[in-house]
């Protein structure tokens, strides 16, 4: 930077950050090039991608911009809802209905001069490897497990051992109420998102017989309205959980059922919470986790201090409790491990039973798996003709179709990779 003072850059602008960049600290790696080199890289060369412009995304964008990142891209497929305004601080009432990525990018460029934020209003899946290859770093502030698995698998697949530039550090944050976590993933080098899938809370699932026959909680009545009654009345018409009329319909029917069974507690808010699987979210927790993510991005981009190895977890409900630890890479991780996952099953298990087990498995988390061996199809969920053709296999024993130690490849629409299982019989 030279001595110009203009409205987009001025002397002293980076007084605070420069204290960190002009000098190493006692724990700074010797490879850190203090001074102009690192500032030039950060401010003129580094290109960073932010996935998600919601609760975490808004915070991430602001922090990155103030820290000196000047070429920022942001992807988000959502539009602004009124319930975002209690924490997504780049949006105002007048912005409700507009794309988050666009509004957030404009706000940042207005407030922090000289920063270029390029928005993309759409899905991360719309973009290919060439697109992701242009960035030095990726920071994720997502609320969807599926999207995280996709970007994680994509970045792991992109790693070419011959080309160090192909390894894109992924920094991922997540919050729920007063709790949250931030982590650094070096694809193929350290534990990836898929490696830690079993750390996620199991989503509350109510057995269908409870919903249909023995409701006890208001939630059971709401599930009845959305899972059974809606399709019964409206057929294929899709339930839109963002449509207040649809929520209203569910609420009224759940309430009626609750009255019939003398169950108390069905409210509009609970109805919405159950059908949309709403996770409580507050500005302060998002600020902590987003700051932690950006701090890691800054440290990685500048080498001014060691970055997080590799998981920071925070619980703020009872005092301030945090835990920083190294999550271990899983050798049998279906994305970054390279080894197939060993599955031990009984000899008399049917294909259907195996599928049930896979769906239940916390470290896999798939909805509708299709199975095949290297030589034949076992069961395919789609297209309908193939589903029908392979359906008879559901009742067959797995051991009739796959030998001991044989491989099964699992695919699913929600799974951004092929999962290999090695079957062992017990």
Partner 1 sequence: MAQPDSQEIGDATTAVHSQPDSKTRRYDRQLRLWAASGQSALESSRTLVISASATSTSILKNLVLPGIGHFTLLDADAVSPADAGNNFFLNGYSSIGKNKAEEAVPLLTELNESVDGKAEVKPIDEVLQTDEGRNWVKSFSLVIAHNLSQDTLDTLSKLLWDGLGNPPLIVVRSAGFLADFFIQFHEQCIIEPHSETFPSLRLTRPFPALAEWANSTDYDKLDPTEHAHIPFPIILVKATEKWKAEHDGQLPKVYAEKQAFKAAIRDLQKKMDEENFDEAEAQAWRISGEVPVPSEIKSLFALTPLVPASSSSSTNGSSVSEQSNAAFHTLLQTLKLFVESPEGPGCLPLTSTLPDMHTDTESYVRLQRMYKEQAGKEAALFKKILKANFPDTPVDDGMVDLFVKNTHHVNVLRGKRWGAWEEDKSAVASSLESDPRETATHLALSALSNLQSKGIDVTADALRADILTRLPPNTELPEEMTNAVGELERSPTADVPNTAAFLGGMIAQEAIKMITKQYVPVKGYCVVDLVESWTGVVGA
Q: Hey, which residues are catalytic here? A: 209
**Choices 281-289, 346-354, 357-365, 385-393 (CB under 8 A): range interacting with partner 1:** 281-289
Residue 233 binds to partner 1 (criterion: CB under 8 A): yes
**Non-local CB neighbours of 83 within 8 Å, separated by 6+ positions:** none
Minimum Å gap between C-beta 154 and partner 1 is: 26
Residue 128 binds to partner 1 (criterion: CB under 8 A): no
**Non-local CB neighbours of 273 within 8 Å, separated by 6+ positions:** none
Q: Other CB atoms closer than 10 Å to residue 119's CB: what's the count?
A: 23
Residue 141 binds to partner 1 (criterion: CB under 8 A): no
Residue 26 binds to partner 1 (criterion: CB under 8 A): yes
- Pairing mode, if any, of strands 419-425 and 341-345? parallel
- Please give the backbone phi and psi of residue 300, each rounded to the nearest 5 degrees, phi first: -65, -45
Residue 97 binds to partner 1 (criterion: CB under 8 A): no
| Ranges within 36-95 binding partner 1 (CB under 8 A) | 59, 62-63, 66-67, 82-83, 85-87, 89, 92
Residue 3 binds to partner 1 (criterion: CB under 8 A): no
> How many residues line the site for partner 1 (CB under 8 A)?
95
Reading the block at residue 42, the tokens are 């950060």
For 273, counting Cβ atoms within 10 Å of its Cβ (0-12 exposed, 13-18 middle, 19+ buried), the class is middle
Q: What gap in Å lies between CA 276 and CA 193, rounded to an integer? A: 24
Site string (380-419) toward partner 1, x via CB under 8 A = ----------------------------------------
What distance, in Å, lies between the first and last C-alpha atoms of the chain? Answer: 68
Residue 217 binds to partner 1 (criterion: CB under 8 A): yes
| Ranges within 319-348 binding partner 1 (CB under 8 A) | 319-320, 322, 324
Site string (153-192) toward partner 1, x via CB under 8 A = ------------------------xx---x----------
Residue 364 binds to partner 1 (criterion: CB under 8 A): no
Residue ranges of alpha helices (H) inside 97-172 are 100-111, 129-133, 145-158
Reading the block at residue 87, the tokens are 């924490």
Of the candidate residues 14, 132, 135, 379, the single one contacting partner 1 (CB under 8 A): 14
Displacement of CA 62 from its chain's centroid (Å): 20
Q: Are 100 and 75 in contact (CB under 8 A)?
A: no
Closest CB to partner 1 among residues 114, 337? 114
Minimum Å gap between C-beta 116 and partner 1 is: 15
Of the candidate residues 25, 35, 122, 338, the single one contacting partner 1 (CB under 8 A): 25
Closest CB to partner 1 among residues 266, 371? 266
Minimum Å gap between C-beta 118 and partner 1 is: 20
**Non-local CB neighbours of 357 within 8 Å, separated by 6+ positions:** 343, 345
Displacement of CA 305 from its chain's centroid (Å): 27
| Ranges within 290-319 binding partner 1 (CB under 8 A) | 290-292, 294-296, 298-299, 305-306, 308, 312, 314, 316-319
Minimum Å gap between C-beta 401 and partner 1 is: 29
Residue 35 binds to partner 1 (criterion: CB under 8 A): no
Closest CB to partner 1 among residues 135, 251? 251
Residue 274 binds to partner 1 (criterion: CB under 8 A): no
Reading the block at residue 294, the tokens are 């950006």
256: alpha, beta or left? (left if phi > 0; alpha if psi -120 to 50):
alpha
Before 383, cis peptide (omega within 30)? Answer: yes
**Non-local CB neighbours of 108 within 8 Å, separated by 6+ positions:** 61, 62, 65, 72, 90, 115, 117
Minimum Å gap between C-beta 306 and partner 1 is: 7
Of the candidate residues 2, 3, 4, 12, the single one contacting partner 1 (CB under 8 A): 12
Of the candidate residues 280, 338, 392, 405, the single one contacting partner 1 (CB under 8 A): 280
Determine the 3-state secondary structure of 48 from DSSP.
Answer: strand
Residue 113 binds to partner 1 (criterion: CB under 8 A): yes
Of the candidate residues 2, 3, 4, 19, the single one contacting partner 1 (CB under 8 A): 19
Q: What gap in Å lies between CA 62 and CA 47, rounded to an integer? A: 15
């Amino acid at each position: 930077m030279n001595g110009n003072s203009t409205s987009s850059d001025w002397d002293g602008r980076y007084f605070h950050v420069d204290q960190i960049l002009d000098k190493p600290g006692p724990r700074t790696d010797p490879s850190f090039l203090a001074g102009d080199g690192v500032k030039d890289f950060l401010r003129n060369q580094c290109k960073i991608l932010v996935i998600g412009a919601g609760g975490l995304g808004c915070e991430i964008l602001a922090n990155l911009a103030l820290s000196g990142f000047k070429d920022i891209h942001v992807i988000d497929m959502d539009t602004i809802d009124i319930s975002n305004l209690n924490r997504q601080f780049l949006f105002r009432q007048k912005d409700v209905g507009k794309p988050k990525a666009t509004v957030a990018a404009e706000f940042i460029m207005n407030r922090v001069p000289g920063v270029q934020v390029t928005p993309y209003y759409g899905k991360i899946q719309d973009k290919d490897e060439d697109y992701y290859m242009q960035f030095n770093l990726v920071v994720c502030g997502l609320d969807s497990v599926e999207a995280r698995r996709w970007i994680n698998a994509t970045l792991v697949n992109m790693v070419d051992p011959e080309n160090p530039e192909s390894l894109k550090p992924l920094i991922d944050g997540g919050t729920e109420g007063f709790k949250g976590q931030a982590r650094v993933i070096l694809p193929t080098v350290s534990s990836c998102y898929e490696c830690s899938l079993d750390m996620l809370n199991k989503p509350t699932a109510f057995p269908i017989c409870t919903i249909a026959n023995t409701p006890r909680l208001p939630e059971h009545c709401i599930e009845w309205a959305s899972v059974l009654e809606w399709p019964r009345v409206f057929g294929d018409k899709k339930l839109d959980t963002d449509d207040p009329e649809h929520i209203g319909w569910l609420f009224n029917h759940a309430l009626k059922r609750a009255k019939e069974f003398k169950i108390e507690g069905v409210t509009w808010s609970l109805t919405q919470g159950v059908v949309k699987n709403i996770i409580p979210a507050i500005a302060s927790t998002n600020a902590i986790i987003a700051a932690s993510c950006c701090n890691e991005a800054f440290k990685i981009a500048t080498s001014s201090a060691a970055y997080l190895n590799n998981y920071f977890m925070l619980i703020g409900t009872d005092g301030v409790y945090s835990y920083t630890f190294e999550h271990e890479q899983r050798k049998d991780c279906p994305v970054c491990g390279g080894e197939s996952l060993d599955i031990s099953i009984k000899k008399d298990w049917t294909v259907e039973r195996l599928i049930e087990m896979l769906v239940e498995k916390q470290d896999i988390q798939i909805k509708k798996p299709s199975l095949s061996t290297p030589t034949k199809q076992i069961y395919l969920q789609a297209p309908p003709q193939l589903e029908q053709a392979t359906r008879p296999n559901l009742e067959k024993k797995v051991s009739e179709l796959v030998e001991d130690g044989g491989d099964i490849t699992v695919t699913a629409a929600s799974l951004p990779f092929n999962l290999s299982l090695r079957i062992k019989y017990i």
